[in-house]
């Protein structure tokens, strides 16, 4: 099925090629058998070695031309392999982050959809349905976000694959959850059947303007790697949090009830099942009533 996305001006855009490939891989028996083969550790290592070798350099120019990527906004570099190109960095002057104190900003270039969180909420990441509990594998943590919002930022292969902190704050250690793949018998999640869950890594964050939040990076089933730059630490809005190496990727942010008010166009699109194109550092909403006064107090002492 074609996926409809819109830019912030309300213009519709159709994404088809990537969705068709995913549909084949995850919705057909043949595709799932293929996935089972390529997801073997030996196959993943082989592909990973290729993407990190000079042999993969030939893929770069074709990819740039095919996807119309403007390389003038990225740091000049002689890429030794495809993975170096895939994790390319924006020039400092081309990276704009809204620093208004009450602004909620996008942590990455992506297609955004927002879901309300309640006991029956199911949202889709890489064509697989999740509850918050399934996503973080932590029932106690999941319960904290009932009544809140789940922001799903889906990155395409041509997007910038580095992500930032969306507010000032402090974070705990990163928790890694390995992915799983079911090739024959689906696992039932209410009325849905799913065949896969991607590897992911999450951290609990105490943010200055949005209270307690969780950010989750979701990697690819194949060889995509999540590379977070920090463990437990304090951080500033706009500081680079990490990057994805080759493979599809998604960033998910969980916000508590009343923590933020998302812009109307994004909420309207989300209600219709439409993703909205957002850019790293772009304002997508404002702070709500859940300002983290505890964090502010500790920072001003």
> What digits encode the pLDDT tens for the residues 146-177?
999 999 999 988 889 999 999 999 999 999 99
CB 286 within 8 A of CB 122: no
Q: For residue 6, is it within any domain?
A: no
Q: Has residue 53 been placed in a domain?
A: no
Residue 295 has pLDDT above 50, yes or no: no
| Torsion from C-alpha of 24, 42, 125, 107, nearest 10 degrees | -130
Structural domain total, the chain:
1
Sign of CA dihedral 249, 14, 9, 158: positive
H/E run at residue 254: strand 249-255
76 is catalytic: no
pLDDT at 19 over 70: no
pLDDT digits (tens, 9 = 90+) for 250-270: 999 999 999 999 999 999 999
Active-site residue flag, 158: no
Length of the chain: 301
Task: Please count the helices (runs of H) and the strands (runs of E) in the chain.
Answer: 9, 23
* 133 vs 180: which has the higher pLDDT: 133
* 35 found inside a domain: no
Give residue 145's domain range: 98-300
Predicted local distance difference test score (pLDDT) of residue 14: 57
Residue 300: pLDDT above 60? no
Greater confidence, 244 or 48?
A: 244
pLDDT attached to residue 1: 41
Q: Is residue 62 situated within a structural domain?
A: no
Q: What is the pLDDT of residue 182?
A: 54
Rg (CA), the chain: 19
**Active-site annotation holder among 56, 110, 128, 249:** 249
Cα-Cα-Cα-Cα torsion 278, 155, 215, 86, nearest 10 degrees, comes to -120
**For 185, what's the count of Cα atoms within 13 Å in the CB-facing half-sphere?**
1
Place 136 in a pLDDT band, splitting at 50, 70 and 90. Answer: very high
**Residue 243, domain member (yes or no):** yes
155 near 109, Cβ under 8 Å?
A: yes
Q: Is residue 42 part of a domain?
A: no
Structure tokens at 126: 């890489």
Local confidence band at 31 (pLDDT 50, 70, 90 cut-offs):
low
Q: Which of 56, 109, 159, 206 is catalytic?
A: 109
> Quick check: is 58 in a domain?
no
239 in a structural domain:
yes
């Amino acid at each position: 099925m074609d996926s409809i996305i819109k830019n912030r001006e309300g213009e519709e855009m159709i994404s088809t090629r990537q969705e068709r490939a995913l549909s084949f891989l995850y919705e057909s028996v043949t595709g799932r058998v293929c996935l089972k083969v390529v997801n073997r550790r030996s196959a993943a290592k082989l592909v990973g070695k290729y993407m990190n070798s000079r042999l993969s350099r030939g893929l770069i120019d074709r990819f740039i031309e095919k996807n119309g990527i403007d390389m003038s906004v990225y740091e000049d570099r002689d890429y030794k392999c495809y993975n170096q190109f895939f994790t390319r960095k924006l020039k400092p002057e081309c990276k704009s982050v809204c620093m208004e104190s009450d602004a909620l900003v996008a942590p990455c270039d992506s297609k955004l959809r927002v879901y309300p969180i309640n006991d029956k909420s199911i949202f889709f990441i890489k064509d697989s349905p999740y509850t918050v509990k399934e996503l973080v594998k932590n029932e106690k943590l999941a319960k904290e976000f009932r009544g809140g919002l789940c922001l799903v930022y889906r990155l395409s292969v041509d997007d910038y694959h580095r992500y930032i902190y969306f507010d000032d704050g402090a974070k705990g250690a990163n928790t890694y959850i390995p992915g799983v793949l079911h090739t024959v018998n689906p696992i039932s999640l209410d009325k849905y059947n799913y065949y896969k869950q991607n590897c992911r890594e999450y951290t609990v964050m105490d943010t200055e303007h949005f209270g307690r939040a969780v950010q989750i990076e979701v990697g690819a089933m194949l060889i995509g790697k999540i590379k977070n730059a920090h463990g437990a630490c304090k951080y500033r809005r706009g500081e680079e949090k990490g990057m994805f190496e080759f493979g599809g990727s998604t960033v998910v942010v969980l916000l508590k009830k009343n923590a933020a008010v998302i812009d109307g166009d994004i909420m309207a699109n989300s209600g219709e099942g439409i993703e909205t194109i957002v850019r790293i550092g772009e304002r997508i909403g404002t702070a709500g009533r859940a300002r983290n006064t505890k964090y502010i107090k500790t920072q001003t002492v």
